[in-house]
Amino acid sequence: MTDAPGGIRPLTDTLGVDIDAELLSLALTHRSYAYENGGIPHNERLEFLGDSVLGQAVTVTLFTRYPDLDEGSLAKRRASLVSTVALAEVARRVGVGAHVLLGRGEEQTGGRDKDSILADTTEALIGAAYLSAGQDAATSLVIRLVEPLLDDPERYGAAMDPKTSLQELAARRQAPPPEYSVVADGPDHNRLFTATVRVGDVRADGVGTSKKAAEMAAALQAWRDLSARA
């Protein structure tokens, strides 16, 4: 097994699942590393499997834990809990980033702390746990990983759809609806957009390569600022 930086023992102890050594190494192998090392296998197939295991485990957990929630509310919570933002937080909590095998380019651009890489690797680890120890062990792993997030799903939903989340939060706080303004700078082939959103006396800015991206960035910051006032 090719060991990732930092030694693998702390991660396996934290996960609490006896994962086959080859599967564990595969789960931690990002495609950038695989391509730079002769096209060896990488973790995307395990990620595909882990995504399914994750979704089923979260669905069953939410269904049994919250008997009074309707289908729409359950679906929204599930989407939040399996989002890239939520899984990246899980990965940081258990220290996944220190063990991922990355290519030089990803290493140099901060790949160990990229939400997408952390989330995908977490799903791959869940897939490896399923193949190594079975469905019950993989389901238990998922529940342990997402347990701290179950009671705070809105934070991750906000990252997925910040404009809707900000509008809903403003309504709950009896604040005026969000108002957006956007300015563009730079040549047509390389435009940069800056959005400003106001919700009452809360003001936040966001930058993006499109009007939509800038508005979403501003909305997420405003959502965080408004939530912090609770």
The residue among 95, 77, 92 whose CA lies nearest residue 155 is 77
Between the CA of residue 4 and those of 10, 32, 187, 189, what are the distances in Å?
Answer: 12, 14, 43, 40
Contact 25, 124 (CB under 8 A): no
Residue 168 designated active-site:
no
Q: Which of 51, 89, 106, 161 is catalytic?
A: 51
Q: Phi/psi at 174 (nearest 5 deg)?
A: 55, 40
Q: Which of 106, 123, 161, 215 is catalytic?
A: 123
User: Which amino acids are annotated as binding site, given as ranges?
Assistant: 47, 120, 123
Q: Phi/psi at 55 (nearest 5 deg)?
A: -60, -45
Contact 146, 86 (CB under 8 A): yes
User: Which amino acids are annotated as binding site for Mg(2+), given as ranges?
Assistant: 47, 120, 123
Active site residues: 51, 123
